[in-house]
Amino acid sequence: MDVILQSVSQPAAHRLMIYASSPHLQAFPSEQRFCDHAQEIGLNESDFKGPGLVLLQNCQLSPSDLVKHIMSCFLRGYIVRIYWCTCTTADINNFSFHVKRMLMDLEGTDQSAFLSGEGVLKASKKVDMESDSLDLNINYNSEKFMVPNRKIRLQTFPRELAMKLIDEIPELEGAVHDFSHSLYVVKGDGLIRYGIGKGEDMYLVACDREALLKGAVARACLKLEEVLYVKGITLNSHMLVLDVGAAPGAWTEYLSKKVHHVVAIDPGKLDQNVLAGNVTHICKKAQDSMADLVMWTTGRNFDLLVCDMNKHPVEAAEIIVPLLKFLKYGSFLIVTLKFHGRGKNKDDKVGELKSIFGASLKEMDCIWLLANSIYERTFVGRRK
Ligand SMILES: C[S@@+](CC[C@H](N)C(=O)[O-])C[C@H]1O[C@@H](n2cnc3c(N)ncnc32)[C@H](O)[C@@H]1O
């Protein structure tokens, strides 16, 4: 079935679209094909904010599994609504008629087939109401399509569509509480997409980043958590980690709770609470820390190198390349990069960076994380 995700902003929708299209990034479950195609819809050139909608065509995950997945990871901070759509019409002015017809068709359908997509489409052949044989056109005003124990909540984009639906299908009422089903209607790209789902699968999250910040030491940690998640990098209690550009210490604190030891380099101060027993602060610039690192890595190199100095790519590379000899073969480098322009395409600079790192790193990738600002990207590579 087609699924439409609504995110907090258009740039976030763009990144969700990339995640849904990139099997090598594990933002969405990928054991099976997640969806056939992902695209932003309803884009209006003059509106920078945009509707924030991403269409996932033929999504393979069931509604309850998709909701469970989103709620269990960083995605919950960026997706505010989900619409499950089994039908599409270009007849925008009369869309209420099509929605009503779908609801009438459903009365003759096994409720468990509601979300199979197929169930919805086949329903038109299976209409079996108490009334005489049903001619949809003649019975357009029939009130019988609302079975007594079915209360429907409307979830529409834009919201005005709900008013139009209620005006034209008064039986809908638009329940807010104790609803058994949700009716989804989305307008975009000259089409209306619609469908109906079980009430318990409705996903409606306030646009509230506080929820996401719970458990994260600071906003900075969202980047680290997200990149570890999408690259499938797991931390464990045996790891020795190098954190470059570590102050005031949110990443260091996050890491120190999960790994054996963190060596944090920064000429600036680390917060007092970050200086736990398994954190060593080298209070210098990275370029001046070579002797300390040789001492630290005697007999053992780092299992992970993270760097959040937030420098322009080439400047970051100049500082990081000499540090790569302290990273174990096969281990990951994660670097936040800061660009001057806010354009989406950073290919030139990223290409330059890949050629600088190419001698020491493999599997290089530059990701626009949802937690990155529009100027930032996060670079990942593995020591070869
Ligand atoms: C954005 S902050 C890092 C925030 C940190 N990740 C956290 O979670 O708190 C960037 C830090 O990089 C440090 N920095 C800049 N240039 C550096 C260098 N050459 N060597 C080491 N640290 C550097 C700055 O002192 C600053 O504290």
Domain closes at, from 169, 201, 233: 201
Is residue 289 domain-shared with residue 319, that is, in the same domain?
Answer: yes
- CA–centroid distance, 281 to ligand 1, in Å, is 12
Average pLDDT over every residue of 348-367: 92
Whether residue 128 lies inside any domain: the answer is yes
Q: Taking the model in full, what pTM does it have?
A: 0.86
Whether residue 297 lies inside any domain: the answer is yes
- CA–centroid distance, 352 to ligand 1, in Å, is 23
**Ordered strands of the 361-367 beta sheet:** 279-282, 261-265, 240-244, 302-311, 327-338, 376-383, 361-367
Q: Which of 225, 266, 323 to mutate to test the pocket of ligand 1 (most atoms within 8 A of CB)?
A: 266
Is residue 266 domain-shared with residue 168, that is, in the same domain?
Answer: no
Helical pair 95-106 and 160-168, crossing angle rounded to 10 deg: 70
Which is more confidently placed, 211 or 337? 337
Rounded Cα distance, 93 and 295, in Å: 73
Which long-range contacts does 256-260 make (Cβ < 8 Å, 24+ apart)? 259/235, 259/303, 259/304
Is residue 272 domain-shared with residue 155, that is, in the same domain?
Answer: no
Is 123's pLDDT higher than 50? no
Whether residue 308 lies inside any domain: the answer is yes
Is residue 241 domain-shared with residue 324, that is, in the same domain?
Answer: yes
- CA–centroid distance, 336 to ligand 1, in Å, is 11
Residue 132's pLDDT is what? 28
CATH number at residue 372: 3.40.50.150
Question: How does the average pLDDT of the chain come out, rounded?
Answer: 84
| One-letter amino acid for residue 190 of the chain | G
Is residue 47 domain-shared with residue 106, that is, in the same domain?
Answer: yes
Domain region containing 51:
2-201
- CA–centroid distance, 244 to ligand 1, in Å, is 7
Label the pairing between strands 87-89 and 191-198. Answer: antiparallel
Average pLDDT over every residue of 285-295: 96
In ligand 1, the atom with minimum distance to the C-alpha of 285 is 20
**By alpha-carbon position, which residue is closest to atom 27 of ligand 1?**
247
Whether residue 206 lies inside any domain: the answer is no
Is residue 221 domain-shared with residue 196, that is, in the same domain?
Answer: no
**By alpha-carbon position, which residue is closest to atom 15 of ligand 1?**
309
Whether residue 174 lies inside any domain: the answer is yes
Residue 323's pLDDT is what? 97
Residues 6+ apart with CB under 8 A from 224: 251, 254, 255, 306, 308, 334
- CA–centroid distance, 266 to ligand 1, in Å, is 6
**By alpha-carbon position, which residue is closest to atom 23 of ligand 1?**
245
In ligand 1, the atom with minimum distance to the C-alpha of 309 is 12
- CA–centroid distance, 211 to ligand 1, in Å, is 26
Is residue 194 domain-shared with residue 236, that is, in the same domain?
Answer: no
Whether residue 235 lies inside any domain: the answer is yes
In ligand 1, the atom with minimum distance to the C-alpha of 220 is 8
Domain closes at, from 201, 230, 247: 201
**By alpha-carbon position, which residue is closest to atom 18 of ligand 1?**
285
**Domain tally for the chain?**
2
Whether residue 211 lies inside any domain: the answer is no
Is residue 149 domain-shared with residue 224, that is, in the same domain?
Answer: no
Whether residue 64 lies inside any domain: the answer is yes
Is residue 273 domain-shared with residue 177, that is, in the same domain?
Answer: no
Is 140's pLDDT higher than 60? no
Domain closes at, from 132, 167, 201: 201
Is residue 91 domain-shared with residue 235, that is, in the same domain?
Answer: no
- CA–centroid distance, 325 to ligand 1, in Å, is 20
Is residue 315 domain-shared with residue 276, that is, in the same domain?
Answer: yes
Residue 143's pLDDT is what? 40
Alpha-carbon distance values, 219 to 42, 224, 226, 259, 361 (Å): 30, 10, 11, 20, 28
Is residue 43 domain-shared with residue 113, that is, in the same domain?
Answer: yes
Q: List all residues whose CB is within 6 A of at least one atom of ligand 1.
A: 220, 244-251, 265-268, 285-287, 308-310, 319
Average pLDDT over every residue of 29-44: 86
Which is more confidently placed, 126 or 151? 151
Residue 117's pLDDT is what? 38
Average pLDDT over every residue of 196-216: 69
- CA–centroid distance, 310 to ligand 1, in Å, is 7
